[in-house]
């Protein structure tokens, strides 16, 4: 049995295992979304707690005004929340844009904290910690600077968080605002719906596990304080915080009724840098938390760490192996002698992938169409392959960081004008 045979076998088992996990999560996710879809997600409170909505912003002049206006348009009682924009060492006219909005709505609690390159400019975690230091709210909400949340999003998140003491945080759903900007944003839109929202819903449904996505979530202030704020070394601060919340015994719940719309990278270069940052962050979090897989006291968190390990280790290696064997086979450098690999099975795998995505799109308005099905199939052979390069690049960066002991700077995703 040659190395190509072993690798093919490994790739096949890995891909089908991950496919099975995804199908499983999608079915759970669908049931959860279906149930939540029958409600408006609201649990009215007698008294609403004070909320600090924090938005880290670094050179966000193109989008920040629209974001702030959306945040100030929440249907949450206006005297019960403040919006804190951490203008993190911006070199553009973000500050002026924010001043304009302040002038427009002088009676609203819009706080702008501007930092220089000594205190600020050290990444999202650092900016959030600065925001935390000035926040008054018992509950913290975090939004990215390119978000336009729906008016009821904050109320839904807060009501659900306050109503269940077992919850440490509640997250909402995010959608792609610039879906039709390019083929890439079409792919990102599908990926966001199918693999971030539906998988989160499935993980919550089966395991009471969710990972904070970095935006559109609320969290108890005391939890953030007890864990010492956001880890400034973590590029993927959301995953890192999630794991710490798990370890405290809290759950993180997803409420799909709370929706925010965000701008996704519409150019490949920007997308690649953004995803590399996420992957580097996730690898950091995984390496910090992998020890908990073997810790019985870690509870449900073990499942999540294992899930991420599977995604990164198994999927990456399986895709690299299968693609390499395919290319080398076409070039005549390798030959797989393992029989029984029916072409029909690979066709079925593609069908399952498409259906798995379509089940998510079917629950959304204006997403379920033949074009989407075609794009999903196209995505399988194009966009999904890019993920391999992202993770390989992230691995390289991680190794370089470890060897040189130099922290990678936070790549700020470039925005475009709406």
Nearest to 184, CA basis, from 266, 276, 264: 266
Q: Are strands 51-57 and 81-88 parallel, antiparallel or unpaired?
A: parallel
Q: Does residue 269 interact with another protein by CB under 8 A?
A: no
* 220, containing H or E segment: strand 217-220
Residue carrying the six token digits 């710490």? 244
Residue with Cβ nearer another protein (29 or 123): 29
**Where is 251: in which H helix or E strand?**
strand 251-262
Which residues, listed in sequence order, are joined to residue 260 by a DSSP beta bridge? Answer: 149, 174
Closest listed residue to residue 171, CA positions, set 221, 118, 121, 213: 213
Whole-number minimum distance, CB 243 to another protein, in Å? 30
Q: Which stretch binds another protein (CB under 8 A): 78-86, 169-177, 234-242, 405-413?
A: 169-177
Per CB under 8 A, the list member of 88, 144, 150, 191 interacting with another protein is: 150
The footprint of another protein on this chain (CB under 8 A) covers a number of residues equal to 63
Q: Measured from the CB atom, is 213 or 256 closer to another protein? A: 256
Residue 365 interacts with another protein (CB under 8 A)?
Answer: yes
Return the DSSP state at 294.
G
Site for another protein in 207-236 (CB under 8 A): none
Q: How far is the CB of 358 from another protein (least distance, A)?
A: 6
Of the candidates 157, 154, 178, 145, the one whose C-alpha atom is nearest the C-alpha of residue 73 is 154
Does residue 380 touch another protein according to CB under 8 A? no
Using CB under 8 A as the binding rule, whether residue 243 contacts another protein is answered as no
CB of 250 to another protein, least distance (A): 27
Q: Does 370 bind another protein (CB under 8 A)?
A: no
Instruction: Please provide the size of the chain in residues.
Output: 418
Q: Which one of 80-88, 124-132, 177-185, 230-238 is the stretch in contact with another protein (CB under 8 A)?
A: 177-185
How many CB atoms lie under 10 A from the CB of residue 205? 19
115 makes contact with another protein (CB under 8 A)? no
284 or 353: whose CB is closer to another protein? 353
Q: How far apart are CA 23 and CA 17, in angstroms?
A: 10
Rounded Cα–Cα distance for residues 126 and 119 (Å): 9
Q: In the β-sheet with 110-115, what is the strand arrangement from edge to edge?
A: 110-115, 81-88, 51-57, 139-142, 217-220, 167-176, 251-262, 147-149
Name which position in 92, 100, 225, 418 contacts another protein (CB under 8 A): 418
Cβ neighbours for 100, distance < 8 A, ≥ 6 positions apart? 65
- Binds another protein by CB under 8 A, chosen from 183, 320, 355, 392: 355
Site for another protein in 284-343 (CB under 8 A): 337-342
Nearer to another protein, 148 or 242 (CB): 148
Q: Shortest distance, CB of residue 216 to another protein, whole angstroms?
A: 13
Looking at residue 411, the DSSP 8-state letter turns out to be P
Residue 313 DSSP one-character state: I
Q: How many helices (H) and strands (E) does the chain have?
A: 15, 8
Q: What is the smallest separation between the CB atom of 57 and another protein, expressed in angstroms?
A: 17
From 98-106, 242-250, 299-307, 365-373, span contacting another protein (CB under 8 A): 365-373
Residues facing residue 169 across a β-bridge: 219, 252
The interface with another protein within residues 54-73 (CB under 8 A) comprises 66, 69-70, 73
Q: What SS3 state is found at 250?
A: coil
Does residue number 352 form part of the binding site for another protein (CB under 8 A)?
Answer: yes
- Looking at 260-369, list the stretches that DSSP marks H as alpha helix, in order from N- to C-terminal side: 268-289, 301-309, 316-331, 343-361
Closest C-alpha to 358, from 343, 344, 369: 369
CB-nearer residue toward another protein: 9 or 388: 9
Which of 38, 297 has the CB closer to another protein?
38
Per rule CB under 8 A, is residue 181 in the interface with another protein?
Answer: yes
Binding mask 21-60 for another protein (x = CB under 8 A): --x--xx--x--xx--xx-x--------------------
Cα separation, 161 vs 184, whole angstroms: 34
* 176 binds another protein per the rule CB under 8 A: yes
- Positions touching another protein (CB under 8 A) are 1, 5, 9, 12, 16, 20, 23, 26-27, 30, 33-34, 37-38, 40, 66, 69-70, 73, 75, 148, 150-152, 175-181, 185, 256-257, 259, 261, 263, 266, 337-342, 344-345, 348-349, 351-352, 355-356, 358-359, 362-366, 368, 416-418
């Amino acid at each position: 049995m040659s190395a190509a045979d072993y690798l093919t076998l490994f790739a096949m088992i890995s891909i089908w295992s991950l496919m099975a996990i995804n199908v499983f999560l999608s079915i759970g996710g669908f049931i959860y979304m279906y149930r939540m879809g029958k409600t408006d997600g609201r649990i009215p409170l007698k008294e609403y707690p004070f909320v600090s909505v924090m938005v880290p912003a670094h050179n966000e002049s193109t989008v920040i005004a629209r974001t702030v206006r959306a945040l100030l348009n929440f249907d949450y009682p206006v005297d019960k929340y403040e919006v804190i924009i951490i203008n993190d060492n911006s070199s553009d006219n973000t500050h002026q844009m924010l001043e304009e909005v302040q002038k427009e709505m002088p009676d609203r609690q819009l706080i702008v904290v501007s930092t220089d390159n000594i205190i600020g400019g050290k990444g999202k975690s650092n900016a959030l910690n600065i925001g935390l230091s000035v926040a008054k709210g018992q509950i913290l909400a975090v939004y990215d600077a390119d978000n336009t949340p729906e008016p009821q999003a904050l109320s839904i998140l807060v009501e659900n968080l306050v109503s269940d003491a077992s919850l440490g945080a509640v997250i909402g759903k995010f959608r792609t605002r610039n879906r039709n900007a390019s083929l890439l944003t079409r792919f990102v839109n599908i990926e966001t719906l199918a693999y971030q929202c539906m998988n989160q819903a499935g993980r919550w449904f089966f395991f009471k596990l969710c990972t904070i996505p970095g935006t559109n979530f609320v969290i108890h202030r005391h939890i953030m304080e007890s864990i010492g704020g956001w880890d400034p070394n973590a590029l993927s601060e959301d995953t890192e915080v999630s794991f710490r919340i798990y370890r405290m015994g809290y759950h993180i719940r997803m409420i799909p009724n709370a929706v925010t719309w965000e701008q996704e990278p519409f150019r490949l270069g920007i997308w690649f840098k953004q995803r590399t940052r996420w992957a580097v962050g996730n690898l950091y979090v995984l390496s910090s938390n992998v020890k908990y897989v073997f810790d019985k006291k870690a509870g449900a968190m073990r499942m999540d760490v294992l899930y991420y390990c599977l995604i990164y280790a198994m999927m990456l290696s399986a895709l690299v192996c299968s693609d390499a064997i395919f290319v080398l086979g076409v070039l005549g450098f390798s030959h797989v002698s393992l029989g029984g690999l029916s072409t029909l099975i690979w066709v079925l795998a593609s069908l399952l992938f498409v259906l798995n995505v379509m089940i998510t799109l079917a629950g959304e308005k204006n997403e379920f169409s033949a074009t989407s099905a075609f794009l999903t199939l196209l995505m399988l052979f194009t966009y999904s392959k890019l993920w391999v390069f992202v993770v390989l690049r992230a691995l390289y960066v991680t190794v370089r960081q470890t060897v040189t002991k130099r922290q990678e700077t936070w790549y700020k995703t470039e925005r475009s004008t709406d």
